[in-house]
């Protein structure tokens, strides 16, 4: 008899090997499939090796790197790739499955305040949930100081999946930090229906001040019964988030079997999961009634069916790879171990008009991608001996 165990079916979905792509405008009009360009060569330059399932990367003003390892370690990696000892003071994490120590970002004023933010699977009564902490990295960067958990997803549940957990510092349209943080939160897999209700944090994007308080202009502050941190809802498992130069948040999320999405979450909007989806359940059953669109539910800017299992996302603002790269979006694929370069109708805006696959011979799951202060792209490979790689342009770029 076929298994009905959802976790077995979840793993089974990774066997899907076909790949196509389509684009959808926000006006809900299907576009023709986007032509796949020939893979463009980039040269991966190893910086650090022997990282255990690295999840996130941040850049320090000193030229060093901060890297999280999912089992619960935060490391400072020297510019020459030397791994520092695990930074002390990281709280206990619920490591296992998809859980552990996940995203990390440094404050815009890190050079003066040494503040960083990280999210992790926090154990507690009822199971675990995604939490957001702030701390200061000591001048001798061997420990965290003044640690405080400023947000915990509610409720905690017994699950090792769908934590979401990407952090983005909010900025104004003029590029100035506005004192807020966005964080993506997964639906915890077994609680997908929660993504459509507002009395919980499952399947949501939230927005808070850096001290954990709620901004007065959040969209649901005045709505009875709604949690005030919520910015948008109807998300499944968003593991990529970045800010465009105009201050707009971009997010991507894992679909089920097919239906990975890119969205530009607007305040107070519902992005549909699981009422609508371009994917199906693991095993092929319909999601709900099988609808891909319904009144009052937002359509994705772009989606992939079958899935690429996206994780990590960044805008390219430099011309290190050529002028035509500036304004492009890059997305990492866990499933195929490659990067997807998405060219948009306008720089940093509009629908996807062209897609190129990169690093197709890498042969390793890519967990995160970031643009560094030098304008180059950096990626983390997700394996027990993971690497931090710098992507060098080909000659002539």
Mention every residue, 6+ apart, whose C-beta is less than 8 A from residue 26: 298, 299, 301, 351
Separation CA 64–CA 204 (nearest Å): 32
Question: What is the structure's pLDDT at 298?
Answer: 98
Exposed/middle/buried for residue 73 (C-beta within 10 Å: 0-12, 13-18, 19+):
buried
Q: What pLDDT does 17 receive?
A: 30
To the query of whether residue 302 is one of the catalytic residues in this protein, the response is no
Q: Give the integer Cα–Cα distance in Å for 222 and 230.
A: 12
- The CA-based dihedral angle spanning residues 391, 395, 396, 397, taken in that order and rounded to the nearest 10 degrees: 0
Q: Nearest Cα to 207, choosing from 199, 215, 196, 198?
A: 215
Residue 394 has what pLDDT? Answer: 84
Q: Catalytic pick from 162, 201, 202, 235?
A: 162
Per-residue pLDDT of the chain (397 residues; tens, 9 = 90+): 334 444 444 434 433 333 333 333 333 334 434 545 555 579 999 999 999 999 999 999 999 999 999 999 999 999 999 999 999 999 999 999 999 999 999 999 999 999 999 999 999 999 999 999 999 999 999 999 999 999 999 999 999 999 999 999 999 989 999 999 999 999 999 999 999 999 999 999 999 999 999 999 999 999 999 999 999 999 999 999 999 999 999 999 999 999 999 999 999 999 999 999 999 999 999 999 999 999 999 999 999 999 999 999 999 999 999 999 999 999 999 999 999 999 999 999 999 999 999 999 999 999 999 999 999 999 999 999 999 999 999 876 5
Alpha carbons 79 and 61: distance in angstroms, whole number: 11
Residues 338-360: b if buried by 16+ CB within 10 A, e if exposed: bbbbbbbeeebeebbeebbbbbe
Question: Does residue 369 contact residue 314 with C-beta atoms inside 8 Å?
Answer: yes
Nearest one of 107, 239, 222 to 161, comparing CA atoms: 239
pLDDT at position 40: 58
- Report the pLDDT value the prediction gives residue 41, as an integer from 0 to 100: 76
Retrieve residue 31's tokens: 């576009």
Q: Is the Cβ–Cβ distance between 302 and 240 less than 8 Å?
A: no
What's the CA gap between 250 and 350, in Å, rounded? 12
What pLDDT is attached to residue 23?
A: 34
In the DSSP assignment, the letter for residue 196 is G
Tokens for 303? 């989606």
């Amino acid at each position: 008899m076929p298994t009905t165990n959802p976790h077995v079916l979840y793993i089974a979905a990774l066997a899907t090997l076909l790949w196509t792509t389509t684009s959808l405008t926000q006006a809900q009009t299907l576009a023709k499939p986007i032509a796949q360009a020939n893979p463009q060569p980039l040269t991966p330059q190893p910086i650090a090796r022997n990282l255990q399932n690295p999840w996130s990367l941040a850049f320090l003003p000193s030229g060093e790197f901060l890297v999280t390892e999912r089992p619960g370690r935060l490391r400072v990696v020297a510019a020459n790739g030397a791994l520092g000892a695990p930074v002390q003071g990281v709280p206990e994490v619920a490591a296992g499955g998809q859980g552990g120590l996940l995203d990390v970002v440094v404050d815009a004023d890190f050079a003066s305040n040494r503040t960083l933010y990280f999210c992790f699977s926090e154990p507690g009564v009822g199971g675990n949930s995604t939490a957001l902490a702030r701390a200061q990295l000591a001048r001798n960067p061997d420990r965290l100081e003044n640690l405080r958990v400023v947000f915990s997803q509610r409720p905690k549940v017994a699950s090792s999946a769908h934590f979401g957990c990407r952090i983005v510092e909010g900025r104004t349209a003029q590029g100035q930090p506005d004192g807020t943080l966005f964080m993506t939160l997964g639906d915890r897999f077994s609680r997908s229906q929660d993504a459509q209700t507002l009395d919980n944090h499952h399947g949501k994007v939230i927005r808070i001040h850096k001290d954990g308080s709620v901004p007065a202009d959040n969209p649901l502050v005045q709505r009875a019964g709604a949690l005030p941190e919520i910015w948008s809802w109807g998300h499944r498992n968003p593991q990529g988030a970045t800010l465009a130069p105009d201050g707009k948040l971009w997010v991507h999320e894992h679909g089920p079997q097919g239906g990975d999405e890119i969205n530009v979450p607007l305040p107070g909007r519902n992005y549909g999961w699981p009422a609508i989806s371009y994917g199906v359940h693991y095993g092929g059953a319909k999601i709900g009634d099988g609808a891909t669109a319904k009144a009052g539910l937002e359509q994705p800017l772009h989606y992939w069916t079958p899935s690429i299992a996206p994780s990590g996302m960044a805008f390219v603002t430099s011309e290190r790879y050529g002028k035509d790269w500036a304004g492009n979006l890059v997305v990492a694929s866990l499933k195929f171990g490659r990067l997807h370069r998405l060219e948009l109708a306008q720089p940093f805006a509009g629908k996807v008009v062209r897609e190129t696959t990169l690093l197709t011979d890498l042969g390793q799951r890519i967990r995160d991608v970031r643009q560094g202060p030098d304008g180059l792209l950096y990626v983390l490979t997700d394996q027990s001996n993971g690497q931090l790689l710098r992507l060098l342009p080909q000659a002539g770029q």
